[in-house]
Each structure stands twice: as structure tokens, then as C-alpha cells.
Amino acid sequence: MSAVDGQGVALGGLEHAGLPVARARRGRRPTVRSVTLRALGVFVVVVLLLFMIGPILWLALRAFSGLWQYPQFLPSHWTLKWWSSVFADRSLGHSIQLSFEFAPVVTFASAAICLPAAYAFSRFNFPGRRVLLVSLFATNAFPKIGLYISMAGVFYSLNLMGTFLGVVIVQLIGTIVFMTWIPTAAFSAIPRSLEEAARDVGAGPLRVFFRVTFPLAAPGIFVAMILTFLASFDEAQGTFLVGIPNYITMPTEMYTLVLNYPEQAAAVFSILLAIPSVILMSLARKHVMGGKLAEGFQIR
């Protein structure tokens, strides 16, 4: 966008490329320039719509298609039979249940491990604080599949291959950074003067924490927990490597589904798997967009 309105900014260009706060656009007559920019904007939206949403819609249609021949844009025959066949499949039902067992366990384990640390990182300045905070980045510095391979090699000796605990650990590893950095940023954003004021009027340290600090940091913690839940719920590659053949969660089941089931069944299963993600992310959306995620990634 920016490259288009290069030179003639003094005339009409500012209307669209201009700053939202600086100039009111209302009441001006459209110029050739502003119309071109607008058309370009619409074009970008259409391309982005196709690129971002297109694949999802195309897959969703498949879940209801009885007969769909190339090159038709829509199925010629619609059906719901794939839904009943997925619901009737025992192993698929079991993997759905497993996913809902792992995700809460991982979320609470991760919270229990990381939240006290997040508080300490934001409130106490101890030697090695920065080094330790950065060292947690190790979980993200290693490319995931390479890390899982290394973990799996040792998991044989630790008797963790194919166990519930092994899968929990693999899923937990990827969530430590969210669960520490985002709440650390949230705790750091609370002015100490608020806590001191509460203490001055006689509140004990625990009371200060639960009545002042925690409620103010709650949105950040909430976002971290949702991201952790989803990270666990959607994690496929590590679970695939460590959990097989005993623990096959929903996303791991997709690998087999794609290869061995009709496309329509895989589409139905995809929609089912996406539902929790869509709901939970919608809850966290406001905070994630508001910069909670971005804040967490700038080490302070």
C-alpha cells in the first residue's frame, strides 16, 4: 500500500494513506487517487480472503458433499451421512475424549509450574534473572520436531514412551514460554504503588496478592491459559512421536484419517477438531489482538 502513494501526498493521497487521527476525510470529494487506493484495498481484501479463508471453506463444504465432480465449484449432491459415520466410529470417539483429557492436565500442570515463576520474575530482581528468563527461550529456540526426536530417544530409557506422562511432558514443553512470559509481562504492568497502597491500609501480603495483584494480572494469565490449552489440544507431531500407539489424540488421528479414510470423513473430523479452537480463541481474541501476546515476547 505504502509504495503506491509515494510522491503526491500533498494532494489527495493523505485521505486514505493519511493518519487516522490527523485528518478528517468526511465531506471531501473522491479523487482518482482515492478511488484507485480504495479499489486496491478491496482487491487486497479479496486476495487475502481467498488465501486465508478459502481453504477452510473448501474443506468445510466437503463435509456435506455426496457427489462432487471436478471442475464444479459446488457439490452436486449434499448429504449428512459422513457426520453419522464419524460419530459411529469408536476409535475416533476415543481420540476426541483423549484430547479433552490431555489439554486440561497440561494447562494446569503448566500453570502450576510457571505462574509462581512469572510472579517472581516480575517482582524480584535477583542475580541471574535475565539469564534464567532467556534460558526458558530454549523451548522455542529448538525446532520442534528435532527436539521431540531428541526427547523420544531418551524417553525410551526413562520409560516414558507411549505413556500418559510422556505425552503430557511433550505437550507441556511447548507451553512454558507462553505461560511464563505473558504472565510476567502482565504482573510487570501492575504499578507497585497499588500494592503498597493496599499494604499501607493494613492488607497482608496474601490479601494484597489475591485482591489487588491477581485480579489485575488475570487477563494476561487467562490469555496464557487459553493459548496453553489450545497448544496442547492442537499438538500433533510430538504426541504422534511419543504417544503412539497408546495415546492417539484428535490431531494425531488426522494423520491417519487423511491417508485411510474418505476425504469427507476427514473434513467432518476437521470441523469437530476446530470447534474448541474457534470458541476459545474467540474468548481470548480481544486480549491477544490488544497486544498481550506481542508484549510477552519482548524480554524486559
Applying CB under 8 A, which of residues 63, 167, 172, 265 lies at the interface with another protein?
172
**Count of Cβ atoms closer than 10 Å to residue 146 Cβ:** 9
Q: Give the nearer residue to another protein in terms of CB position, either 211 or 300.
A: 300
Residue 6 grid cell: 509515494
Applying CB under 8 A, which of residues 28, 38, 207, 211 lies at the interface with another protein?
38
DSSP state of 76: S
Beta bridge partners of 78: 65
Q: Give the nearer residue to another protein in terms of CB position, either 63 or 202.
A: 63
Fill in the per-residue mask, 255 to 274: x = in contact with another protein (CB under 8 A), - = not in contact: x--x----x--x---x--xx
Smallest gap from Cβ 84 to another protein, in A, equals 21
Q: Give the nearer residue to another protein in terms of CB position, either 142 or 214.
A: 142
Interaction with another protein in 192-251: which residues (CB under 8 A)?
230, 233-234, 236-237, 240-241, 244, 251
Q: Give the nearer residue to another protein in terms of CB position, either 172 or 186.
A: 172
Residue type (1 letter), 97: Q
**Count of Cβ atoms closer than 10 Å to residue 134 Cβ:** 11
User: Under DSSP, is residue 65 helix (H, G, I), strand (E, B) or coil?
Assistant: strand
Applying CB under 8 A, which of residues 173, 185, 221, 248 lies at the interface with another protein?
173
Interaction with another protein in 68-87: which residues (CB under 8 A)?
70-73
The CA distance from 256 to 193, in Å, is 56
Interaction with another protein in 122-161: which residues (CB under 8 A)?
126, 129-130, 132, 134-147, 149-158
DSSP labels, 220-253 = HHHHHHHHHHHHHHH--HHHHHHHTTT---HHHH
Residue 229 grid cell: 490449552
